[in-house]
Amino acid sequence: MFFDDHAQHLTIEECQALLASASVGRVSTTLRALPVVVPVNYGYLGGSIILAMGAGPTQRAISGGNIIGFGVDNAHRPEPFWGLLIIGRANEILDPDACADYQRLGLTAPSAKPASPTHYLQLMPDIILGHGTPTG
């Protein structure tokens, strides 16, 4: 659907295992009708993706339930390549207890200064697609 016609498609179980094995991905959205792709730290917890972002235009653009794309891959490793595409809606998590739990798990924004807060967003996957050859 989104990948090369000759790519090996991964099962949903393979996609979920690979999603749980990584911690950095890329959010894609639009700002003022222009495409934007931003790296984010994330955790895959209970079937949803928890994004950790600093405050800014991208965080504000995706936090209102807009449909976004999220990509994860292992292009930086020498193993056989795999890539995932997740599409769904993201909403900001406002519960302070949940945010504190994510902080304790070490989930923080990649570029946040120590004094700046991390915003947490929950991405509920509607579509999970993967291709490649996972190891293990």
> What's the pLDDT tens digit per position in 85-125?
999 999 999 999 999 999 999 898 876 566 678 999 999 99
Q: How do strand 24-31 and strand 64-73 relate by DSSP bridges? A: antiparallel
Q: What's CA 78's distance to the chain center, in Å?
A: 22
Q: For residue 32, give both structure tokens.
A: 């003022």
Beta strands in the chain (DSSP E): 24-31, 34-45, 48-53, 64-73, 82-92, 119-132
Q: Is the separation of the CB atoms in 118 and 108 below 8 Å?
A: yes
Task: Give the per-residue pLDDT at 111.
Answer: 67
At 2, the pLDDT band (50, 70, 90 cuts) reads low
- Which CATH architecture describes the domain 12-132? Roll (2.30)
User: What percentage of the chain reaches a pLDDT higher than 70?
Assistant: 90
Question: Considering the entire predicted model, what is its pTM?
Answer: 0.88
Q: For residue 124, give both structure tokens.
A: 């509920």
Q: Is residue 58 classed as helix, strand or coil in its secondary structure?
A: helix
The domain ranges of the chain are 12-132
The per-residue pLDDT of the chain, averaged, comes to 88
Q: What's CA 35's distance to the chain center, in Å?
A: 16
